[in-house]
Chain A
Amino acid sequence: MKLLNQPILEIKDLHAGVEGKKILQGVNLVIRPGEVHAIMGPNGSGKSTLAAILAGREGYDVTAGEVLYEGKDLLELDPEIRAREGVFLAFQYPVEIPGVNSTYFLKAALNEVRKHRGLTELDAVEFLALVKEKMKILALREDFLKRPVNEGFSGGEKKRNEIFQMAVLEPKLAVLDETDSGLDIDALRIVAEGVNKLKHADNAQLVITHYQRLLDYIIPDFVHVLADGRIARTGDRKLALELEEKGYDWLLKHELASA
């Protein structure tokens, strides 16, 4: 049952690590429908770890806390179930899969998602029509789909492909892990505009980035700074500007002083 304005995602006191190494140490975050959240933070602070745990990558130990997705325990679901339920991770480093054709892959993925949502599966013709529409959003060339998944794609093409997949799968919660890195200025604008077009009142976006530049295009409602395994500070988009100017050192010292 869906409650009015129920959060899409609630992360409560999440502690997690890998091979005994503590990475997340009490992350709290609530994301509601229609919101855009940005996460910034120094290298190695655990941003990708958080994204990976949300998507269900194996190998992480969650030692405390919980994650609710639309009120349900997210962490007990297999990654494919999460995806079908509407969680989407745009990978920081998309994987090349030689021999697996992009069209075949994406059609299989979309139909899994549709089946899960009680929709009919699309046949080849319907799928192609849909995909052509979505390709326009990302200004992608059509030969893209004929190639194996990400194989031989440039860094920027891979990132664009992630957002293209997001456009096709229409997730409820999209986590974009440094989608802006590796994009040239034009591509950044196209990708950001694409992301904006996909936003609506019922879904939400969690955007991980190092650069305030992206946030000129994708306007966040909240900006969080992840440091030392915790959300050290939350603010609006002015926080991103401030960070750009003064760096994390300033913020962390500031936090310490006020603690």
Chain B
Amino acid sequence: MIETITDQKVAAGEKADQYVAEFERQKRTDTKSPSWLAPLRRAAFTSFSEFGFPTLQDEDWRFTNVAPILKLPFRPVSTHSRDGLTLETLNQFPFTGLRGSRLIFVNGHFSPELSVIQPQPKGVVIASLAAELMNGHGALEQHLARHARTAGNAFTALNTAFFHDGAFIYVPAGMTVESPVHLLFVSTATETGATAHPRNLIVAERGSALTLLESYVRVTDAATFTNTVTEFVLGENAHVEHCKFQDESTDAYHIAALHMQLGRSANFISHSIATGAKLSRNNITTILDGEGIECVLNGLYLTRGDQLADHHMVVEHVQPRCNSHEYFNGILDGRSKGVFHGRILVRPDAQKTDAKQTNKNLLLSDDATADTKPQLEIYADDVKCTHGATIGQLNEQSIFYLRARGIGLEKARRMLIHAFAGEIIDRIRCEPLREEMDKLVWERLEQSEVVAVGH
């Protein structure tokens, strides 16, 4: 890290000028975007300027202080460079051995030379968003930046105003993308405040199927900022499995919005695995806007040191007979902090809703903390909504049982932590993905010294 404290003294006003200047600069240089995009960007930027960043006074940001992000210099990485990233380095990242297409983004910019896109049936699009904006794919104007809300959501607004690239995936009606698609976002920046705004749009039309993995990794340990937005639009009876793996530098900041617009009888399952970043926040919003939708949202966060991992969820039941289930487990070590907020909103028409939410936190040290806040808001009368939250330590009786069979204390603790993580990982349906994720989490636990120290 080259930057020093001086950056933190930047006054709010001065910082605002930085954003305006950057926005104007981008407007001048961006000559390739379609004309419909400019008003969306402008509206988003206006919204961002109006509301500004959230503070701890904001009900939705009570436990997560984003002030350190504001203190970073605003340095959007505006050009693509491979930045010396070799295939060899790339192939060391998790999940790069998976069969299937992979799109590589370096500091938010698509890298065609590092990406592999498998031949797909006619009509299926797996491509860079920037490229498709130039090609003028019809689904873009209809869906891009039309679903994830920017009003009152500074980070999504910022992303909409500033994004350069990301992935665009389009699966036409009735089609299946056989192998999982991997979007790999690599941060190579060494400058403090280097910012990427990846933007992904995934449209799965009626009766289509797709498995998508988004992973965020780094080669450096800089205090970078990733502000990503992924929008999903699922048509009737579309089946999508989504997995997000966030493993950024423990000095980095990571804000992600994940928005799902789900149609009738759609089946959507998402897993958010967070191990990296100094501060990470996932804003997950789902609108169940058709009858008979199945939506499962899972999450697992593993933190140590002074990391903070925040998952903030809003599941909105608009139509009858939908199921939404959320399972989130946190494993917190050191002085780290886990935050979970799950809001379930059942609109008056959403009769026969079945909504379930659990958040379990395992504290591995005395200084780790977990904040969990369920929020049920129900305006229909014939619904089943439950929630549960626990915060606890490893079970001493279980540890003793394992030790009494000859298994050492360290290993016993790891086995139990791994089992706790397994509650989430086991829900990943795509087998190669599940197996690698399981191995990965086990390796992380093996490396964790604090686990080894025990008590």
Residues of A participating in the B interface, judged by any CB pair closer than 8 Å: 55-58, 78-80, 82-84, 88-89, 91, 94-95, 97-100, 105-106, 108-110, 112-113, 116, 148-149, 165, 169
Given contacts A100-B415, A100-B416, A105-B415, A80 and B408 within 8 Å (CB-CB): yes
Mostly, the B contact residues are helix
Which residues in window 388-425 of B have CB below 8 A to A?
395-398, 400-409, 411-412, 415-416, 418-420, 422-423
Given contacts A80-B408, A100-B416, A112-B408, A105 and B422 within 8 Å (CB-CB): no
* Count: A-B pairs, CB below 8 Å: 76
Q: Is the Cβ of B411 less than 8 Å from the Cβ of A91?
A: no
Measured CB to CB, the closest approach of chain B to A184, in angstroms, equals: 24
Q: Is the Cβ of B403 less than 8 Å from the Cβ of A97?
A: no
Q: Is the Cβ of A95 less than 8 Å from the Cβ of B401?
A: yes
Q: Is the Cβ of B419 less than 8 Å from the Cβ of A83?
A: no
Residues of B within 8 Å of A79, CB to CB, are 400, 403-404
Expressed in whole angstroms, the Cα–Cα distance for A169 and B405 within the complex equals: 8
Q: Which of B396, B401, B408, B409 contacts A97 (CB 8 A)?
A: B401
Q: Is the Cβ of A112 less than 8 Å from the Cβ of B400?
A: no
Measured CB to CB, the closest approach of chain A to B167, in angstroms, equals: 34
Residue of B nearest to A112 (CB): B406
Given contacts A99-B419, A99-B423, A100-B419, A58 and B407 within 8 Å (CB-CB): no
A-B contact pairs, 23 of them (CB 8 A): A57-B404, A79-B400, A80-B412, A83-B403, A83-B406, A84-B406, A95-B395, A95-B398, A97-B398, A97-B401, A97-B402, A99-B418, A99-B423, A100-B419, A105-B405, A108-B407, A108-B415, A109-B405, A109-B407, A112-B406, A112-B407, A165-B405, A169-B406
Expressed in whole angstroms, the Cα–Cα distance for A149 and B419 within the complex equals: 11
Given contacts A55-B404, A79-B403, A94-B401, A99 and B409 within 8 Å (CB-CB): no
Expressed in whole angstroms, the Cα–Cα distance for A258 and B411 within the complex equals: 52
**Central interface residue in A94, A99, A149, by most chain B CB within 10 Å:** A99
Q: Which of A56, A88, A99, A105 contacts B420 (CB 8 A)?
A: A99
Residues of A within 8 Å of B403, CB to CB, are 56, 78-80, 83
Residues of B within 8 Å of A91, CB to CB, are 401, 404
Residue of B nearest to A91 (CB): B401
Expressed in whole angstroms, the Cα–Cα distance for A158 and B254 within the complex equals: 46
Residue of A nearest to B410 (CB): A80
Residues of B within 8 Å of A105, CB to CB, are 402, 405, 407, 415
Residues of B within 8 Å of A88, CB to CB, are 404
Expressed in whole angstroms, the Cα–Cα distance for A83 and B404 within the complex equals: 6
Residue of B nearest to A55 (CB): B404
Measured CB to CB, the closest approach of chain A to B440, in angstroms, equals: 17
